[in-house]
């Protein structure tokens, strides 16, 4: 019996703003410190090959493909395949894409579907539960892992277990499934003790899932199969065909399948589970001090009780606070009453409405070659640090409205300005005028850090023209909704950047 972990990692996690943002949702950020793995890295390391499971299938967005690659490298996990969705179509379509691919690889494949942004403390219990559920899955069931509720939460699905299935002693028939009930009904479920939370884990044969999807959601089934048939390989990823995938309705597996199929079953498990759906969940994962405070990062608390302070970049000091959360990340700080933890998504919606880049990007923006981070900006200038990984190479590019000055502060750089390549070492610099073709790369075995000073009439990240890119980004990236660059000024009248790319350079 071959069990393939299927990891879904396309969610946005807006309720964990300002740490979680459009270009770096919660599964890819270090919620508990830079030395701790991300939620994605923890997820892909749970069901490992050495414990008898197959290599994982990753389903993610095109926007996160290089973050997925970085996480796989950090966790030392080799995937079976990484599928890239061209647009968001919820979990029913994402799981179907994995099922369609696995059915080709292994006709009897069993999928252990799980989100990439949850906490599971009891790894052994998860593996044991998946194996138990797989027995029922092999007999044709679609199995959920149920979590004993601790509160009347209205954001989860609830399942009521029935009789034990004859095909598997640990699995029980799911006699009732209610997706995100109203508060009063959730309270009744909690009081009765008869219902479990749906934790987002699904175990089933790939072929069985596709059969039920074809019966219950034929449009999704048809669109996904067409998108898989026309998928194309790109740098080790597999890109689902856009037009076919866009035809799929956006519907969750909960609504499309679990609330309607007669094949639903459930295995109860104690996993030490949390969906980390809000800053309250993050606080719950921490260890409170004697005053009930949870502190993550460099903070000084005075006369402060029952509060959460999370900072990843600077000292935060509080005085006279009670039941407050203070979250500092780069260029944004959130201060709110802890009772408002579920409402942070509304702040993000307001930021998007006002076209604020803080809703989408951090000061530090990751790229396949490393990252760049804003240091300072003002009228007609901007300063960044470029961190290039060993072997990393920026695209060959030019800008219409700005010049750049590079100063190497660590490592050795190979630069091309015009047609002439040359090397720069620590303390050496180079000037690149507007409209000059240029490229920066790290030929060494140690990281390369370069200070970049931009000067010009427009400093937006969409003022870029690429000639070549080893990461094949230009062919697939979408135009930015706005210029996501601090210090950007309005483009000169009558001029338009040749290539609108928020993901430059």
Distance, CA of 14 to CA of 179 (rounded, Å): 21
The proportion of the chain whose per-residue pLDDT surpasses 70, expressed as a percent, equals 93
Decide: 257 and 271 in contact? Cβ < 8 Å. no
pLDDT for the residue 472: 82
User: Does 495 have pLDDT greater than 80?
Assistant: no
pLDDT for the residue 505: 53
Tell me the per-residue pLDDT of 35-81, one tens digit each, with 9 for 90 and over.
899 999 999 999 999 999 999 999 999 889 989 999 999 999 999 99
pLDDT for the residue 485: 43
Distance, CA of 403 to CA of 310 (rounded, Å): 38
Reported as a pLDDT band with limits 50, 70 and 90, residue 497 is: very low
User: Does 453 have pLDDT greater than 60?
Assistant: yes
Decide: 303 and 293 in contact? Cβ < 8 Å. no
Peptide bond just before 505 cis, omega within 30 deg: yes
Tell me the per-residue pLDDT of 439-452, one tens digit each, with 9 for 90 and over.
999 999 999 999 99
Q: Which residues contact 218 (CB under 8 A, 6 or more apart)?
A: none
Domain annotation for the chain: domains and CATH numbers? 3-274 (3.90.550.10), 286-350 (no CATH), 363-468 (2.60.120.10)
Distance, CA of 30 to CA of 74 (rounded, Å): 13
Tell me the per-residue pLDDT of 85-132, one tens digit each, with 9 for 90 and over.
999 999 999 999 999 999 999 999 999 999 999 999 999 999 999 999
Distance, CA of 178 to CA of 198 (rounded, Å): 9
DSSP state of 298: S
Decide: 465 and 501 in contact? Cβ < 8 Å. no
Reported as a pLDDT band with limits 50, 70 and 90, residue 271 is: very high
Decide: 94 and 84 in contact? Cβ < 8 Å. no
Decide: 441 and 450 in contact? Cβ < 8 Å. no
Please tell me the least confidently modeled range out of 200-214, 309-323, 464-478.
464-478
Q: What is the mean pLDDT of the chain?
A: 91
Reported as a pLDDT band with limits 50, 70 and 90, residue 214 is: very high
User: Does 160 have pLDDT greater than 60?
Assistant: yes
């Amino acid at each position: 019996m071959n069990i393939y972990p299927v990891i879904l990692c396309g969610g946005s996690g807006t309720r964990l703003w300002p740490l979680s943002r459009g270009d770096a949702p919660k599964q890819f950020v270090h919620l508990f410190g830079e030395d701790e793995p991300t939620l994605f890295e923890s997820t892909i390391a749970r069901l490992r090959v050495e414990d008898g499971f197959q290599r994982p299938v990753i389903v993610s967005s095109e926007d996160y493909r290089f973050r997925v690659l970085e996480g796989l490298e950090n966790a030392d996990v080799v995937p079976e395949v990484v599928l890239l969705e061209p647009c968001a179509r919820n979990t029913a379509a994402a799981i179907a894409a994995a099922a369609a691919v696995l059915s080709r690889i292994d006709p009897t494949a069993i999928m252990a579907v799980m989100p990439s942004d949850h906490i599971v403390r009891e790894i052994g219990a998860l593996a044991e539960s998946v194996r138990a559920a797989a027995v029922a899955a092999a007999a044709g069931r679609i199995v959920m892992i149920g979590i004993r509720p601790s509160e009347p939460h209205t954001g989860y699905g609830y399942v009521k277990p029935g009789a034990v299935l004859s095909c598997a002693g640990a699995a029980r028939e799911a006699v009732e499934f209610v997706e995100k009930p109203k508060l009063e009904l959730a309270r009744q479920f909690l009081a009765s003790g008869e219902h479990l939370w749906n934790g987002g884990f699904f175990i089933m044969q790939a072929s069985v899932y596709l059969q039920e999807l074809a019966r219950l959601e034929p449009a999704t089934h048809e669109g996904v199969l067409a998108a898989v048939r026309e998928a194309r390989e790109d740098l080790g990823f597999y890109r689902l065909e856009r037009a076919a995938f866009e035809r799929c309705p956006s519907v969750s597996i909960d609504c499309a399948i679990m609330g309607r199929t007669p094949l639903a079953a459930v295995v109860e498990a104690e996993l030490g589970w949390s969906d980390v759906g809000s800053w309250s969940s993050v606080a719950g994962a921490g260890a409170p001090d004697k005053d009930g405070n949870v502190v993550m990062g460099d903070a000084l608390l005075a006369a402060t009780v029952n509060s959460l302070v999370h900072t990843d970049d600077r000292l935060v000091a509080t005085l006279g606070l009670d039941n407050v959360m203070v979250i500092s990340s780069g260029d944004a700080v959130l201060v709110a009453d802890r009772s408002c933890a579920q409402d942070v998504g509304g702040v993000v919606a307001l930021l998007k409405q006002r076209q604020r880049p803080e809703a989408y990007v951090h000061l530090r923006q990751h790229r396949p070659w490393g990252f760049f981070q804003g240091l300072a900006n003002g009228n007609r200038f901007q300063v960044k640090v470029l961190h290039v990984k060993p072997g990393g190479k920026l695209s060959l590019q030019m800008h219409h409205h700005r010049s750049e000055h590079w100063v190497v502060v660590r490592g050795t750089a190979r630069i091309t300005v015009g047609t002439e390549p040359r090397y720069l070492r620590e303390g050496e610099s180079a000037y690149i005028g507007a409209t000059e073709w240029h490229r920066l790369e790290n030929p060494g075995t140690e990281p390369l850090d370069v200070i970049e000073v931009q000067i010009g009439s427009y400093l937006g990240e969409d003022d870029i023209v690429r000639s070549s890119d080893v990461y094949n980004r230009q062919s697939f990236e979408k135009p930015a909704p706005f210029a996501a660059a601090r210090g950007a000024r309005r483009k000169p009248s009558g001029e338009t950047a040749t290539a609108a790319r928020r993901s430059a350079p």
